[in-house]
A and B are shown apart, each in its own frame.
Chain A
Amino acid sequence: MAEKRGNVWVFIEQEAGKIADVSLELICKGREIADRLDVKTEAVILGNNLEGSIETLFHHGADVVYQVEDKALEPFTVLPYAEAIVSLLKEHKPNIFMVGATLKGRELAPRIASTMLAGLTADCTDLQIDNFVDKLTKTDHKDKLMQIRPAFGGNIIATIVTTWEDPQMVTVREGVMKITSPNKSRKGKVVKVKPEISASSKIVKVIERITQEKSIDLKKSQIIIAGGYGVGSKENFKIIYDLANTLNADVGASRAAVDAGWINHDHQVGQTGVTVRPKLYIACGISGSVQHRAGMDESSKIIAINTDPDAPIFSVAHYGIVGDLNEVIPKMIKAFRAKV
């Protein structure tokens, strides 16, 4: 009899009981992969006094949720999380383990992979199931996870495969997997786990913690007006805000504009900012580096305004306006006001 394949596992990241968007994105992707492999989607959430937030995991596609609770798991520190997750992985032997590529995920996943001697691919932007022939060892691997990620500063796209024993581990970039609409009647099983956490995992203490709500979450925006270095100054960013206000849109930015101090980092679109997929993206004075395009090229419609007809941004744009943004934007505002 063929050995039963392990399930698809997703690490659920929470902060004060609120589940991170990327975890829901991964539950949806995990559901798709589990259906393809004919296995279950299972989620693991850690913390202390986790209530209320579990149902939504079932609505998005989880079959089982391991609810791991202990005082040492709040607030988040790497060592107790890693210890608790490693012992669950050893017990349940999932086939695939997915973690959001957040700051927490990117420090936790490698610690776990190292203990498990598991392969780990960082920052995946796509995941598929396919067969793999290892030419070196001449072995056939059936139904493996294709771990697709940009590398080399975004200049190449690599497909990576784990050939050792399960789990196949990945971290997945935020905002790239789509959240499918929840099915409110879907149910699943909660398994409560009381982890054993050794003293050696408790040697890092949080002394102080200061966080601020993000000033904006562009992932949810329908229309984004993004300004780049071509805007020229902090004062001139007003023109970007004017267009945004007129079109009922939010304001995004390139890293060059953020680095110049014209706007805060929450607005940055791209590889080291947010990945957005609005119905309209207007890039104003943005050259269109690979790192910027990585965060916006899946927008439904892209308009680029740039004085340089050879700017790479035009290669992903649907509409290109070669011109000075200081002249083009007021014309857009005027045109829109006249129409509505």
Chain B
Amino acid sequence: MKRQLIVFVKQVPDTKNISGEAMTPEGTVNRAALPAIFNPEDLNALELGLELKDRFGYSVIVATMGPPNAAEVLRAALYRGADEAILLTDKGFAGADTLATSYALSCCAKTVKNYDLILCGRQAIDGDTAQVGPQLAEKLEIPQVCYVEEVIELEKKKIKAKRSIEGGFEVLESQLPALLTVVECNEPRPKAAKRIMKYKKAKTASELKKFHGNADYTDAPMLTEEEAKLKEKNLWIHEWNAAKIGADLQRIGMKGSPTKVKKIQSVVLEATEVVNVEPTGSGINKLIHELIEDHTLG
């Protein structure tokens, strides 16, 4: 059987490039106005997975949990070289904190069953928690190697990886299967034109139904036919819900989340009383004088 690895990725709002349009008049962020992007470090994780595909012939499965339109991020992964894609989507997954998220992802990995490696980006830019990777490893009872920069060796049962630590780096050897969290360590390959041509037709079941005017499988047998055709051409994006991955409904979504958000405040620039200093010799002389007088300087 071909060796498989799973890359878990996330679609996130682009918090790095908050443009003028995404700001409200009060100076706070309007999240809905932010474009959705491939979480940057997940792209690094995908690239590492694709390098392992090139080096060792791995089959790369990419999976994400999110709303139906998160299939977009899976297609972006297929364009770059992923072999298979899984969308975990279910209303029950909504409102999950990192514990409930890692539980759902662990059910997904167990459903895939046969894997040597799980790759995740170190953290997602919407939360910056870096918790899902280690929690997922714990749920699967496999070792974790965090902050990986490079896979040095990969054998049948062992992996050697270089990772960053405080003030330097470390080479760790771990048994397989293992989970790696990946930092910004490589140049993710661009989408391949040929693959775009092919995989832009890749669909989830929901997308197929929508494509046919929200038809239903029971009264539109052509859906079953089309599904078979897409599968044959490897253009089928698996769409799995909580039942399909055997998730305990008490442990997913809001119910499975021990943390609750009490309050959200937007960071508004509070205007401090700023003393305007003229960039002239006398303006600066006066400033330095003041700072010496109040013992800040000297």
Contact = CB atoms under 8 A, between A and B. Distances in A.
A142 to B, nearest CB: 14
Contacts of B280: 331
A204 B172 contact: yes
B16 interface: yes
A340 B263 contact: no
Given A110-B98, A155-B266, A320 B173 contact: no
Interface in B148-196: 160, 164-175, 181
A109 B284 CA distance: 49
A11 B280 CA distance: 52
* Interface SS majority for chain A: mixed
B260 A160 contact: yes
Interface residues of A, number: 86
Interface string B259-270: 111111111011
A327 interface: yes
A322 interface: yes
A110 B128 contact: no
Nearest to B273: A318
Q: How large is the interface on B (under 10, 10 to 19, 20 to 34, 35 or more residues)?
A: 35 or more
Contacts of A279: 296
A151 interface: yes
Nearest to A150: B267
Contacts of B133: 110
A314 B274 contact: yes
B254 interface: yes
Given A78-B134, A111-B144, A150-B267, A162 B172 contact: no
B166 A104 contact: yes
Contacts of A110: 98, 130-135, 138
20 contacts: A103-B165, A107-B134, A110-B98, A110-B135, A111-B134, A114-B102, A114-B134, A119-B257, A119-B259, A122-B130, A134-B260, A152-B13, A158-B261, A159-B263, A161-B259, A205-B174, A279-B296, A315-B272, A324-B279, A340-B292
Given A122-B131, A151-B126, A213-B167, 5 more contacts: A120-B131, A122-B130, A301-B296, A321-B284, A339-B289
Nearest 10 A/B pairs, CB to CB: A323-B279, A153-B15, A119-B258, A211-B168, A164-B258, A114-B138, A122-B129, A110-B134, A119-B259, A110-B131
